[in-house]
Amino acid sequence: MAAAGLLGFDETTLSSCVKTGSLSIQDLYNPQTKISLNQQELIHSAFVQTAQNPLLSLTVGQRLHLTSYGIVGFAMLSSATLLEALETASTFGVLINLKFGLSLHRQAGHAELKLFDQYGLVSLEWKYWLCLEVSKLLTLLQDILGKDFNPEYIDLSLTGNASEAEEIGRILGLPVRLNSSETRLVFAEEWLERKLPQSNSITHSSCKLVCQAQHKEIIQKYDLSYQVQNLLLNSSSSIPSLSDVADRLHLSPRTLRRRLDALGTSYNALLVEVRKKLAIRYLLNTPMTTEAISEHLNYSDAANFRHAFKRWTGRSPREYRVLNRGHEQPVSFSYGKNYGSPHSVSAFSL
C-alpha cells in the first residue's frame, strides 16, 4: 500500500503490478488480506521495474509509520523507553512484517541495532528488502523518539561505490557506509533508557496482550509449514520425501497433505522453495558442481536442475555463480538467534 500510494500509478498499471502476486486492487484495501513474502517480492519487483527506481524501497520505508502496524505500533509507542519499544519490535517482528531479525548490542557508549537474515533471502531480493527494513526501522525510531533522533551512521552489507552510498545517505538523511560485513544502525547508547513522551504502562500492557494473541495465531497457523521447510532444509543427505517428512512429524501422509492444504500450501510448493534456496547456497558458498548439487536436490539429471534454476533466477547456475560469488547467502526459515561478536553484549535477540 505504501509503495502504491507513493508511485501514484493509474488503476490499470497498479492492477498489472499486484496481479504478479496473484492479488487484485480490492485485496490491497481488504484488512483481512494476508500475503506471503514471495508475493510481496513479486509485487514490489513489478513496482521497481515499472517506476524505474532501484532505490524505491528507501522512500517506501519512510512512509511506514507506527500507525501502519495496528496494535503493535501502539504497543511500541506506549513503551516506557526505547529499549522496551525495541524489545517489543523484536518479540513481535512478524506483526510489523520484519524480514530481518534484530539484535541490539552496547559497546563503548554506542548502541548498535543490527539486522540479520532470518529467511534466507537470495541476492535478487537482498538489496530491496534490506533497504526497506533499514528505512522502515529509521522511520519507527523517529516516530518514537521524535525527528531530533538520528543515528550517527548506518552500515549496509551491500556492495557499492561512494556515489551510491552518498545517494542512499541523501535519501535517509544521515551518513551511510556500504561494503560492510554487517548491517547496523549506530546511535548514542543514552537513547535506549530515555523515557518516551507517550509512554503509558496500562496501554502498553493491554496492547501487548492483543499482540501476543495475534502472534500466537500466526505462529500456530504457519508453524507446520515452517516445520516441513526446516526438515527439508536440514536433511543431512538427500531431501526427504513427503512420506519421510510425515513420518518424522508423526502424521500420516494424507493428514500432512490435508493440513498443508488448509494453510494454502503443499509439500511440492515448499520443496520448490527449499531447492531454490539450497541451490543458491551451494553455488555461492561451496565448490560443488552443478551435477553434485542436482543429485543432492534429488533431480533426475543436471539438465532438469539447470532448467529449474534458470526459471527461478533468469540465469544458468554457472552464470549465477560467476555474477554473485562473494555474496554469501545464509539459509534459514526459522526465527533465528544472533548473538553477535565475542566483544559485544546483546541486549535482546529473536
- pLDDT tens per residue across span 174-183: 999 999 999 9
Q: Which domain holds residue 40?
A: 1-53
Indicate whether 177 belongs to any domain: yes
- Residue 114 DSSP SS3: strand
Indicate whether 297 belongs to any domain: yes
Say yes or no: 170 and 113 in one domain: yes
Residue 214 identity (one-letter amino acid): Q
pLDDT-derived band at 110 (thresholds 50, 70, 90) equals: very high
- The pairing of strands 176-177 and 153-155 is parallel
Q: Pick from 151, 167, 199: which residue ends a domain?
A: 199
Say yes or no: 20 and 140 in one domain: no
Indicate whether 26 belongs to any domain: yes
Contacts of 163 (CB under 8 A, 6+ apart): none
Strand ranges (E), 235-349: 345-349
Range 260-264 average pLDDT: 82
Say yes or no: 148 and 224 in one domain: no
pLDDT-derived band at 123 (thresholds 50, 70, 90) equals: low
Range 134-163 average pLDDT: 94
Say yes or no: 137 and 245 in one domain: no
More confident residue, 119 or 30: 30
Say yes or no: 220 and 172 in one domain: no
Rounded mean pLDDT of the chain?
Answer: 84
Range 112-134 average pLDDT: 80
Question: 207 with 74: CB under 8 angstroms?
Answer: yes
CA-based torsion, 208, 214, 220, 224: positive or negative = negative
Task: Assess whether pLDDT exceeds 90 at residue 161.
Answer: yes
Say yes or no: 78 and 16 in one domain: no
Confidence at residue 343, expressed as pLDDT on a 0 to 100 scale: 26
Task: Assess whether pLDDT exceeds 80 at residue 346.
Answer: no
Lowest mean pLDDT among 65-79, 101-115, 213-227: 213-227
The CATH number that applies at residue 301 is: 1.10.10.60
pLDDT-derived band at 329 (thresholds 50, 70, 90) equals: very low
pLDDT-derived band at 112 (thresholds 50, 70, 90) equals: very high
pLDDT-derived band at 314 (thresholds 50, 70, 90) equals: confident
pTM over 0.85: no
Task: Assess whether pLDDT exceeds 60 at residue 336.
Answer: no
Say yes or no: 155 and 257 in one domain: no
Confidence at residue 345, expressed as pLDDT on a 0 to 100 scale: 27
CB burial readout 174-195, b (16+ within 10 A) else e: bbbbbeeeebbbbbeeebbeee
Indicate whether 207 belongs to any domain: no
CB atoms within 10 A of CB 15: 15
**Per-residue cell: 299:** 533431480
Confidence at residue 4, expressed as pLDDT on a 0 to 100 scale: 62
What residues are paired with 106 via a beta bridge? Answer: 111, 345
Range 86-103 average pLDDT: 91
C-alpha 139/C-alpha 150 separation (Å) is 10
Task: Assess whether pLDDT exceeds 50 at residue 340.
Answer: no
Indicate whether 206 belongs to any domain: no
Residue 320 identity (one-letter amino acid): Y
C-alpha 39/C-alpha 34 separation (Å) is 10
Indicate whether 340 belongs to any domain: no
pLDDT-derived band at 38 (thresholds 50, 70, 90) equals: low
Task: Assess whether pLDDT exceeds 50 at residue 24.
Answer: yes
Strand ranges (E), 67-134: 100-107, 110-117
Range 70-77 average pLDDT: 96
Contacts of 139 (CB under 8 A, 6+ apart): 61, 62, 63, 64, 65
- What's the structural domain count of the chain? 3
C-alpha 330/C-alpha 335 separation (Å) is 13
Task: Assess whether pLDDT exceeds 90 at residue 10.
Answer: no
Say yes or no: 181 and 63 in one domain: yes
More confident residue, 154 or 298: 154
| Exposed/middle/buried for residue 108 (C-beta within 10 Å: 0-12, 13-18, 19+) | exposed
Lowest mean pLDDT among 94-103, 254-263, 334-343: 334-343
Say yes or no: 90 and 171 in one domain: yes
pLDDT-derived band at 43 (thresholds 50, 70, 90) equals: confident
More confident residue, 325 or 46: 46
Confidence at residue 144, expressed as pLDDT on a 0 to 100 scale: 96
CB burial readout 243-261, b (16+ within 10 A) else e: eebbeeeeeeeeebeebbe
Say yes or no: 194 and 218 in one domain: no
Range 317-340 average pLDDT: 53
Q: Pick from 171, 199, 227: which residue ends a domain?
A: 199
Confidence at residue 124, expressed as pLDDT on a 0 to 100 scale: 54
Indicate whether 63 belongs to any domain: yes
C-alpha 193/C-alpha 292 separation (Å) is 53
Say yes or no: 74 and 45 in one domain: no
Most confident of 124-133, 259-268, 287-296: 287-296
Indicate whether 108 belongs to any domain: yes
Confidence at residue 338, expressed as pLDDT on a 0 to 100 scale: 32
Say yes or no: 238 and 257 in one domain: yes
